[in-house]
Amino acid sequence: MTNPVTAPDPSLRAAAHARSDAQAKPLGALGRLETLGAWLAACQGVNPPAPLTDVRVVVFAGDHGVAARGVSAYPTAVTLAMVHGILDGHAGISALARSVGATVSLYDLGVDGLTGVPDEVTRFHVHPARPISDEDALTADELQAALAAGDQIAAEAIADGAQLLIAGDLGIGNTTPSAALVAATLGLRGGDVAGSGTGVDAAGLARKADAINAALDRVGDRAADPLQRLAALGSADIAAATGFMMGAARRGIPVVVDGLIASAEALMAEELAPGASAWMVAGHASTEPGCALAQRRLHLAPILDLEMRLGEGTGAVLAVPILEASGAALRDIAALADLS
């Protein structure tokens, strides 16, 4: 789907602010909750916004060749183990999504050695991303296929009634390509964006900054083009999640952005579909430095800061009750003039 992105309805946003201003509270007393509620009304095209009864997390899982460079604290096999953990409903995202009433699904966009799972999960199967420090992660055709897969996943969820979408991520090594994309987009270097990810030590952090710099130097001026940047420095799972966010924005469905990986995807979605970030809120501030850099570039202020760095969509789902509360405030607080 290549339709341009239309902005969330400004008249509904203004109407929501007017409603809020007339409510039984000092003007502006609900702070950012008022802005969030007005954003939700503008996205839904309804004031006050409807309750959020269908929130979906889609986890895009994939392995990353750059992990062989010693940039993660965990072995690649953990990706496969965690795919099963999520499919069986026992992962961090399973528990946290259940706690807020969101559903979780997962797609394999390059998990090494994945077998014995439903066909639906492997429908968009591709090879793990090639190591970005040495070669492009994806060919141009592979990139287009991954973007299209994410768009299709968004389209199907929306056709099935999704009101709010979250892209979760899973893949040992994925903080390295994500940080590289942030660096390439913002004109930064590895040392500016590399964080400890799953918990690498100082030597691992230095290897990570080096791997990012090697990738940036290898790609050079090609990184100026967002499609080439994503193919060279990203991966199929990151590209599919980017396509998913673009697909949501083009269809007028809001997105809650998770941590570093999702923020890098949001950055790429905005580059490829200008205006897409108007359909996004940042659920939380991950501890990864690249996360704040990407969110700041997108003018997305995180709702929560719980010092989390798990990924999977966990920080984003925790922000859903706050968003829901912003809608409830608009719906249920009386007008001051009606109280006597």
Ligand X SMILES: Cc1cc2nc[nH]c2cc1C
Ligand Y SMILES: O=C(O)c1ccc[n+]([C@@H]2O[C@H](COP(=O)([O-])O)[C@@H](O)[C@H]2O)c1
Report the residue from 86, 172, 230, 280 that binds ligand Y according to the rule CB under 6 A.
172
Q: Is 110 in the site for ligand Y (CB under 6 A)?
A: no
Q: Is 177 in the site for ligand Y (CB under 6 A)?
A: no
DSSP 65: G
CB of 71 to ligand Y, least distance (A): 6
Sign of CA dihedral 8, 11, 15, 20: positive
CB of 198 to ligand X, least distance (A): 5
Q: Is 309 in the site for ligand Y (CB under 6 A)?
A: yes
- Strands (E) in 152-198, as ranges, are 164-170
Annotation says 324 is catalytic: no
Angle at 53 between CA 280 and CA 261, to 5 degrees: 35
Answer yes or no: are the C-beta atoms of 59 and 165 closer than 8 Å. no
Answer yes or no: are the C-beta atoms of 64 and 128 closer than 8 Å. yes
CB of 17 to ligand Y, least distance (A): 32
Amino acid type, 205: L
Instruction: Indicate the residue whose CB is closest to ligand X.
Output: 74
Answer yes or no: are the C-beta atoms of 96 and 321 closer than 8 Å. no
Q: Is 68 in the site for ligand Y (CB under 6 A)?
A: no
Amino acid type, 172: I
Nearer to ligand Y, 173 or 254 (CB): 173
For 159, residues 6+ apart whose C-beta sits below 8 A from its C-beta are none
SS3 of 280, please? strand
Q: Is 117 in the site for ligand X (CB under 6 A)?
A: no
Q: Is 166 in the site for ligand X (CB under 6 A)?
A: no
Total residues interacting with ligand X, rule: CB under 6 A: 8
Packed helices 226-233 and 202-219: angle between N→C axes, nearest 10 degrees: 140
Nearer to ligand Y, 149 or 194 (CB): 194
Q: Is 283 in the site for ligand Y (CB under 6 A)?
A: no
Q: Is 228 in the site for ligand X (CB under 6 A)?
A: no
Catalytic pick among 34, 142, 288, 312: 312
Nearer to ligand X, 48 or 65 (CB): 65
Report the residue from 57, 114, 149, 261 that binds ligand Y according to the rule CB under 6 A.
261
Amino acid type, 34: E
Q: Is 312 in the site for ligand X (CB under 6 A)?
A: yes
Nearer to ligand X, 144 or 198 (CB): 198
Q: Is 69 in the site for ligand Y (CB under 6 A)?
A: no
Q: What is the Cα 78 distance to its own chain's centre?
A: 21
Report the residue from 311, 313, 315, 327 that binds ligand X according to the rule CB under 6 A.
311
Q: Is 260 in the site for ligand Y (CB under 6 A)?
A: yes
Answer yes or no: are the C-beta atoms of 127 and 112 closer than 8 Å. no
For 208-255, what is the HEC assignment? HHHHHHHHHHHHHHHHHCHHHHHHHHCCHHHHHHHHHHHHHHHCCCCE
CB of 307 to ligand Y, least distance (A): 11
Q: Is 96 in the site for ligand Y (CB under 6 A)?
A: no
**Max alpha carbon distance in the chain (Å)?**
71
Return the active site residues. Answer: 312
Q: Which residues contact ligand Y (rule: CB under 6 A)? A: 72-74, 169-176, 197-198, 258-261, 286, 288, 291, 309-312
Note the residues at the interface with ligand X (CB under 6 A): 74, 78, 82, 170, 198, 310-312
